[in-house]
Structures are given as C-alpha cells and as structure tokens.
Amino acid sequence: MTADTITAADIRINARWLIPIEPAGAVLKNQAVIIQGTRIVAVTPQEQADREFRTRETVDLPYHVVMPGLINMHGHAAMTLFRGMADDLPLMTWLNDHIWPAEGRFISKQFVADGTQLAMAEMLRTGTTTFSDMYFFPEIAAQVAHDAGIRAQICFPLLDFPTSWGSGPEEYLSKGRAFIDTWKADDYIMPAIGPHAPYTVSDGPMAEAVRLSEDTGARIQIHLHETAFEVTEASEKLGKRPTARLAELGVLRPETQCVHMTQIDDSDISLLQQSGAQVIHCPESNLKLASGLCPVQKLIDSGVNVAIGTDGAASNNDLDLFGELRTAAMVAKVVAGDAAALSAHKALEMATINGARALGRDHELGSLISGKLADIIAIDLSDPFLQPVYDPASHLVYSNHGRSVSHSWINGVPQVQDGRLTRIDVADLMLRVDDWAGRIREQAD
C-alpha cells in the first residue's frame, strides 16, 4: 500500500456498533464512517479505514451505536408551546374547545419561530435529523429550520376557513405556490402541501392541491382516518369513506402521505396498495386521544410503506422518536395478536428508510451507505439502564430513551456533540419559552 492510495476526507466516526439500515437487519462492529463535505464516502471496517483514509477530524465512539438520523414524518412543531396545556380529552373536544381557541389567540410569526425552535431543540437532542411540519406561517418554520441546518418537510396549511395565515383556500393556495417556489431548491427544506383533513377541505381545493403537487413535485400530507367519527360522518353525509373520496379526487398517489389511518378496513388498504400512497403512523397521539390503532403489520404485509411521526407535542406530549418507536413496536404486536409483529429492526426502518421513501428521498437519506447525505446519529449505550448489550437494535427500540443520543450530524455538520446542541442557543430559547408560557397561563386563569 503506497501513500498515494490514501484519500483525504473531513470526518471519521469510529463506531463500536453500526446499524446501517441497508442491508436490512445488519449490525456491524468496529466500523468507520467517513464523511467528505455533505456526504458519506465510505462505511468500512476500522482497520481498512486506517489504510485508506486520512481525515482532519476523528470522533471515537467506543460505547456507541451509530445509525442514520431519524425522520419524524408528522408534527406541528410550534405546538410545543402548548405542551401539557389540555390533556385527557377526546380529539374533537380537544380541538374545538382548547387548541383552536388558543391558536386563534396566540399564533403569530414570533410564536411559530419560538415554538419551532423549541421543537427542533428537542428533536435534535433525541436523534431526529429530518422532521415534517404542518402549521401556520410555514415560511417562518422553513426559515428557522434552514438557519439551524435541520432538514425539514414544511407543509403549508390548506383549509376551507380563514386562519391567521390566510382568508380561505384561494389565498392559502396562492401563498402556498409562492412558498414552494421560494424553497424548492433549498438544501434543507422540502416545501409541501398540507390539506388539513378530509372534513376541513372540500373537493375544489383538494383537487387544486393535487394539481399543485403535479406541477411542482411537492408532496401532499393529510390527516386521514384519524377517528371513527371522521369515517362514519363522511359515510353518512357523502355515502363514501374518506379514502374513497380522496381516491376519486386523485389525492391518493405515491406523492401523498396519509397520517394516522387508525380506522381502516380492507377497502382502504386496497386503495393504499393500488395508489402507492404513504402511511404515517403516530401511535402515541392516537393512544392519547383514544383515536384508535393503525394496523401497521397488516399494512406492511400488504406492501404499503409505513413511516412514523410523533404528531404535535400537545397530543403526545414529547417529540422523542425513540419513545414513539417503542410504543409503535408494542402496539403493533397487540393489534396483530403476534409478538413477532414489527420487530426492532422493522421499527428502526420505519423511522429511517421508510420516512425517506415517503419523502421521495430514499436515494439520499435513511441509511448509511456511501454516496448518501451525512445525516448520522450516535447513541451512547454505556449507561446502566442500557447494560448489558447483547443486541443494540433491541436496546434502541425497547430500552432506550432519545436522551441517550450523544451525537448527530446533518449534511456532515455537527448538531449534537456529547449530548449538547451546537447550533441552538438553549438559554436564550428558554427565556422566550418562559415568556410565552406566562402569557398562555394568564389567558387560561
């Protein structure tokens, strides 16, 4: 081996364990991940990396498992400011009597900026490197995520009625088109279309959303079949289930992400199958609001891609995607009546490569292979509550909390180092959060 076979690169991560997600089920030991610029250029045994690479920085992670950054496919980031404000209520009471009135009073550009930053701090600390958001003032959420260097799909809202962001569907769609134009070439931001739900968006705007998606390539994300009430009401009023209506309107396609899907029968599953539409599973929100349970294993067995999201912090009440995975794995087993349903590795795929697939970005995100973007996390397994280690994949899903995440990189840039955020000023953020909490509390008293 001569000196000229040695390649220079930026960062070398030495990992005790590596779960690359591709190939499926693999757990490798003593690997090195080599990053050059924004991309992974090699994943290789450490001795081989010694011979082939010289990097300007080496990060030794001797008690850690390294894996792709997590993809949180559904949430309302700024709602972190409403965390714990109204609990133990069914969905429609929670929305009509608490969340929508509070949103009417408090939502502003500054609320969205501060709330989104709080959400990003929590998500980064717990292993998320890409998140999806659906909220008012999407241009603010996009700017905040871009400035922090976190990857995000930002869906602009589309509803039949006026809100703080617009007067109605026409204005939402024209602002939305401009929003997509502004952000579509950004390295971090994936602008998308967010028709809120079948019961809040009528046929005209829904069809317009599809046209906009076809024109621009932007994804559509929609809450769908969240509760039994939604499905029975539509069946009674329109004589068809929401999925059937959306299929007729052309909404169900591979570019569309259907969030929740707790109330589904075989006809819904076959529409998902035929259309290639994506499902986003949010088990903790579904449990907390008593909405129902998504039959995840049945969907996977039918060939439907299922990714995972936390939903907003007001209905969860945290954005820890590792916690969500544990819930998902356990709920899937009960729903399927089979302890083998949604194994630890399958759960990890849901939070990585399946999310990337739902975004149409699985060629660049969701696994640690050469050529993909360097969105990487490390989890420290040295704590007593994670010892001993027989199978790191099992620990990640069944024993871990997101707080064991020690490191993360997005586009090759460090975001978390030794458990600390590198790009968000937490002390300053907490002052702003306190200020909001004071105002919200005053209104409630």
In whole angstroms, what is the distance from residue 261 CA to residue 30 CA?
40
The answer to whether residues 328 and 311 touch, using CB atoms and an 8 Å cutoff, is no
| C-beta closer to Zn ion: residue 311 or 320 | 311
Q: What is the DSSP letter of 94?
A: I
Given the rule CB under 5 A, which of 155-163, 241-249, 305-313, 425-433 is the region that contacts Zn ion? 305-313
In the complex, least distance from residue 260 CB atom to Zn ion, rounded to whole angstroms: 8
223 has binding-site annotation:
yes
Options 25-33, 303-311, 323-331, 350-358: segment touching Zn ion (CB under 5 A): 303-311
Residues with Cβ within 8 Å of 427's Cβ and at least 6 positions away in sequence, in order, are none
Stretch that binds Zn ion, among 114-122, 296-304, 310-318, 366-374 (CB under 5 A): 310-318
Judged by CB under 5 A, which stretch of 125-133, 238-246, 249-257, 304-312 contacts Zn ion?
304-312
Q: Least distance from C-beta 76 to Zn ion, angstroms? A: 6
- Nearer to Zn ion (CB atom), residue 209 or residue 377: 209
- According to the annotation, is 76 in a ligand binding site? yes
Pull the structure tokens for residue 132: 């999806």
Q: Indicate the residue among 64 and 223 with the shorter CB distance to Zn ion.
A: 223
Nearest distance, CB of residue 321 and Zn ion, angstroms = 15
The answer to the question of residue 311 lying near Zn ion (CB under 5 A) is: yes
Q: Which of 81, 109, 85, 108 is nearest to 95 (CA)?
A: 85
226 contacts Zn ion (rule: CB under 5 A): no
Decide: is 139 part of the binding site for Zn ion (CB under 5 A): no
By three-state DSSP, how is residue 32 classified? Answer: strand
Shortest distance (Å) from residue 74 CB to Zn ion: 6
Contact region for Zn ion (CB under 5 A) — 22-30, 35-43, 306-314, 383-391? 306-314
Nearby residues of 245 by Cβ (< 8 Å), 6 or more positions away: 198, 203, 234, 238
Residue 289 or 396 with smaller CB distance to Zn ion? 289
CA distance 224 to 258: 6
Name 371's Cβ contacts closer than 8 Å, sequence gap at least 6.
39, 40, 41
Q: How many CA atoms lie within 13 A of 427 on its CB side?
A: 0
Compute how many residues bind Zn ion; rule: CB under 5 A. 1
> Where does this chain touch Zn ion (CB under 5 A) — which range of 118-126, 308-316, 348-356, 420-428?
308-316
Residue 226, marked binder: yes
Classify burial at 369, counting beta carbons within 10 Å of its beta carbon; exposed 0-12, middle 13-18, buried 19 or more.
Answer: middle
CB of 280 to Zn ion, least distance (A): 9
307-345 as b/e: b if 16+ CB within 10 A: bbbbbbbbbbbbbbbbbbbbbbbbbbbebbeeeebbbbb
Q: How far is the CB of 243 from Zn ion (least distance, A)?
A: 17
Nearest distance, CB of residue 309 and Zn ion, angstroms: 8
CB of 226 to Zn ion, least distance (A): 8
Q: Which is nearer to Zn ion, 285 or 408 (CB)?
A: 285
Minimum separation from the CB atom of position 304 to Zn ion (A) = 19
Q: Could you give the strand order of the β-sheet that contains 28-36, starting from the edge strand earlier in sequence?
A: 39-45, 28-36, 7-18, 53-68, 376-380, 405-410, 413-417, 420-421
Give 260 or 326: the residue with its C-beta nearer to Zn ion: 260
State which residue, 66 or 197, has the beta carbon closest to Zn ion.
Answer: 197
Based on CB atoms, which residue is closest to Zn ion, 72 or 297? 72
Radius of gyration of the chain (CA): 22
Q: Where are the alpha helices (DSSP H) in 149-202?
A: 169-183
Q: How many helices (H) and strands (E) does the chain have?
A: 17, 16
Tokens (6 digits) for 123: 């998500």
**Is 407 assigned a ligand-binding role in the annotation?**
no
> Please, where are the H alpha helices in 152-251?
169-183, 203-216, 228-238, 242-248
Nearest position to Zn ion, beta carbon: 311
214 is in an annotated binding site: no
Residue 103 marked as a ligand binder:
yes
311 a known binding residue?
A: yes
Query: Annotated binding site for Zn(2+), which residues?
Result: 74, 76, 223, 311
Known binding-site residues equal 74, 76, 103, 196, 223, 226, 311
Provide the binding-site residues for Zn ion, judged by CB under 5 A.
311
Annotated binding-site ranges for substrate: 103, 196, 226, 311
